[in-house]
Amino acid sequence: MTPSLQFQIIDESDDYAVVVKPPFLLIHPTKPDGTRTLWQELRGLFAFELAAGGQISIVNRLDRETSGLVLVAKKADTARRFGILMQRRQLKKEYLAIVWGWPAWESTLVDAALDRQGKHQHSAIWLKQMIHPSGAPAQTEFRVEKRFVRSLGTAQPERVLTHVEGGAPHEDARGSEKFSLIRAIPHTGRTHQIRVHLASIGHPIVGDKIYGPDEQLYLRFIETGWTCELERELLLPRHALHSALLAIDGESEWTSPLPDDLAQFFSPDKPG
């Protein structure tokens, strides 16, 4: 089934708009093949503002598969202002991620520099990042929101077996696997930062084709598209990462709940 690429504007002024991006919608064009992008859609939506001298600038960029909040400047001076806020770390960003396993911690800080893997060792994926001391500084704070167990016998959400709050131990069931909902707060903005940092501490994001079980899954996906075999390995057709909060210090805050595909992965209260 083709995923919906409809986005939602949850706040707007003369200077900016806040958009909830669905997974699989590109932010910017990557090749001249007519693929729909958020930037192009917004240019059409705000054609009047553009005709009056405005512009469309995406402030916080998300990967194609990442869903959630995107801040968009509609004027050049607003884009400059938001850019300065980003540099001063006064634009706060928080993400929600579903990861494999139950962390031994309730909160932790990963301070590990990132660089493109191909600069240091062989990688079949050009953009793949790795932790390397010569890379750019990167820090991410992680907090456990929920721990839960679900069956691996099917990818359908009705097979969730139990829902566990906090770090209390729980009897596991045969054929099931432990997962956690993690809040990620990046203090820097490196490529794939949250995904690499979570994988580096043993809790890769569910559905991550590059940093999950095996990077060969990404290469198979490029060749074959989404298949039943990939579903058995990855569980979700996209990495389970959602931009859940944007805030400007002392000024504005916007939030977005988990979209249905991620909420249904762990919630026993939602139908499949």
Element (H, E) at 50: helix 47-51
> Could you say which architecture CATH assigns to the domain 1-88?
2-Layer Sandwich (3.30)
Equal CATH topology for 1-88 and 92-272: yes
Q: Inform me whether the pLDDT recorded for 243 exceeds 90.
A: yes
Tell me the per-residue pLDDT of 60-99, one tens digit each, with 9 for 90 and over: 999 999 999 999 999 999 999 999 999 999 999 999 999 9
pLDDT (average), residues 223-233? 93
Q: Inform me whether the pLDDT recorded for 162 exceeds 80.
A: no
Q: Inform me whether the pLDDT recorded for 268 exceeds 70.
A: no
pLDDT (average), residues 44-65? 95
CA distances from 240 to 44, 177, 236, 265 (A): 29, 16, 8, 9
Euclidean distance between CA atoms 60 and 70, whole angstroms:
6
Predicted local confidence at residue 173, as pLDDT: 39
Element (H, E) at 231: helix 228-234
- Identify which has the larger pLDDT, 268 or 157: 268
Q: Is the pTM of this model over 0.85?
A: yes
Amino acid at 103: P
The domain ranges of the chain are 1-88, 92-272
Tell me the per-residue pLDDT of 5-47, one tens digit each, with 9 for 90 and over: 799 999 999 999 999 999 999 999 877 777 889 999 999 999 9
Question: What CATH number does domain 92-272 carry, 1.10.3210, 3.30.2350, 1.10.8, 1.20.1070?
Answer: 3.30.2350
Percentage of the residues of the chain whose pLDDT score is greater than 90: 78
